[in-house]
Amino acid sequence: MTIDSSASPLIFGGAPTPRAALPHLPPLALYIHIPWCVRKCPYCDFNSHAASPVLPEEEYVDALLADLEQDLPAAYGRELSSIFFGGGTPSLFSAQALGRLLEGVKQRIAFAADIEITLEANPGTFEQEKFTAYRALGINRLSIGIQSFQEDKLKALGRIHNGDEAVRAADMARRAGFDNFNLDLMHGLPDQSLEDALGDLRQAIAMQPTHLSWYQLTLEPNTVFWNQPPTLPEDDTLWDIQEAGQALLAEHGYAQYEVSAYAQPGRAARHNLNYWSFGDFIGIGAGAHGKLSHPDGRIVRTWKTRLPKDYLNPAKSFKAGEKALADDELPFEFLMNALRLTEGVEAQLYPERTGLPLESLAEGRREAEQSGLLQVEPSRLAATPRGQLFLNDLLQKFLS
């Protein structure tokens, strides 16, 4: 396991600024990574692996609970505000396995009374009985990976479902008792026209999800698409898709609250809001990442052993490494997610979550405001529309 405990005091105005103890700890979430899928999609750079005919469910659940046990001392006395099953394709796991896992988690750490529990699901793995059982376990939110409804686009993306299965998945979710679900949809797909993209979006809206994640396909290193790039739409078409799609979503009551997240009133994803607001989360499972704050002001990021076979090897450690964030890393770490939020965050959240004074942002804030990338509003930290469009340029202002 690698440990990086480097820390340097942030300096402004010629004097070191010590990090203060945190006035209170942020909300705590749990991320559970299920690394298997039916097959790896050519655009996917997540830690996912094609499943064998028989998944090691029991063995993996045992490992997840043991992994959690090792992280719990750093979260003693706290409760979970949300749980998120990500992957991979978590819906490959049986309800029996997920039930044993959730029960084991609940025996080890308290759940908030209104806990949000989200499961990522692939339409090609939907079975009515299984999803009814998921709902009975207390899973109360689904995130369904649609990506597109058009057969040629789904084939190009390597998806295992077709358009009809995508539509049926939302219907099954509703009949299983899920009144809160997200549809994951992509645009900027190979050879996609403006009308293609809007057609997908109209179909998704017609299914009346409470939440839509609508984001542009990007080519990531270490993927098939990176090595064999498909023909993607021109920049002008991508711009037209973005503008027309945002208008269509707003027209149907989906408010944009993050770069690629749109929700009906009161239906923003609590788990993701916690992440974007520099909240805490325990990460368990192969390749999972975590971030935990300590009352003395230390903020530690962790990451777990990546390959499933190594994660399941009792001779190896679950934790691959950890790093205590240095003071001069915190401005960027905090803002890289907070500024993705359309409304940003209250400025006071920065000292509450980092232990550093707002003055530590003064120089970058001034430059960003003068560049028209950051709103001139003392009580908030929020990007302008231009700042959200050029988010990397905005964040560069806060790199030490």
Amino acid at 337: N
For domain 28-273, the question of CATH label 3.30.2010.10 is answered with: no
- Per-residue pLDDT band at 393 (split at 50, 70, 90): very high
* Closest C-alpha to 143, from 208, 189, 85, 215: 85
Question: Tens digit of pLDDT for each residue in 18-38?
Answer: 687 888 999 999 999 999 998
Give the residue carrying structure tokens 């009133």. Answer: 265
Question: Tens digit of pLDDT for each residue in 46-92?
Answer: 888 888 889 999 999 999 999 999 999 999 999 999 999 999 999 99
380 Cβ contact list (under 8 Å, min separation 6): 343, 344, 345, 346, 347
Q: Given the DSSP bridges, would you call strands 211-216 and 261-263 parallel, antiparallel or unpaired?
A: antiparallel
Question: Tens digit of pLDDT for each residue in 119-170?
Answer: 999 888 888 999 999 999 999 999 999 999 999 998 888 888 888 888 899 9
- Two tokens, residue 309: 């076979």
The yes-or-no verdict on residue 7 having pLDDT over 50 is no
What DSSP letter does each residue of 262-327 carry, written as one string? EESTT-S-HHHHHHHTT-EEEEESTT-EEEEE-TTS-EEEEEE--SHHHHT-TTS-SEEEEEEPPG
The yes-or-no verdict on residue 226 having pLDDT over 50 is yes
CATH class entry, domain 326-400: mainly alpha
**How confident is the model at residue 4, as a pLDDT?**
58
**How confident is the model at residue 158, as a pLDDT?**
84
Range(s) within the chain of domains with CATH label 3.20.20.70:
28-273
Q: What are the C-alpha distances in Å from 215 to residues 61, 89, 156, 256, 262?
A: 32, 19, 17, 12, 10
The yes-or-no verdict on residue 3 having pLDDT over 60 is no
- Per-residue pLDDT band at 17 (split at 50, 70, 90): low
Q: What is the DSSP letter of 374?
A: B
Question: Tens digit of pLDDT for each residue in 315-324?
Answer: 889 999 999 9
Q: Give me the residues paired with residue 143 across strands.
A: 120, 182
Question: Tens digit of pLDDT for each residue in 351-361?
Answer: 999 999 999 99
Determine phi and psi for 186, rounding to 5 degrees.
-115, 155
Range(s) within the chain of domains with CATH label 1.10.10.920:
326-400
**N-terminal to C-terminal alpha carbon distance within the chain:** 28
Q: What are the C-alpha distances in Å from 192 to residues 198, 215, 311?
A: 10, 14, 39
Question: Tens digit of pLDDT for each residue in 370-386?
Answer: 999 999 999 999 999 99
The yes-or-no verdict on residue 328 having pLDDT over 50 is yes
Average pLDDT of every residue of the chain: 93
Q: What are the C-alpha distances in Å from 113 to residues 106, 118, 138?
A: 12, 15, 12
Q: Given the DSSP bridges, would you call strands 345-346 and 380-381 parallel, antiparallel or unpaired?
A: antiparallel
Q: What are the C-alpha distances in Å from 133 to residues 107, 121, 203?
A: 20, 14, 27
Question: Tens digit of pLDDT for each residue in 250-269?
Answer: 999 999 999 999 999 999 99
261 three-state secondary structure: strand
Handedness of CA 201, 202, 208, 210 (dihedral sign): positive
| Residue range 239-255: mean pLDDT, rounded | 98
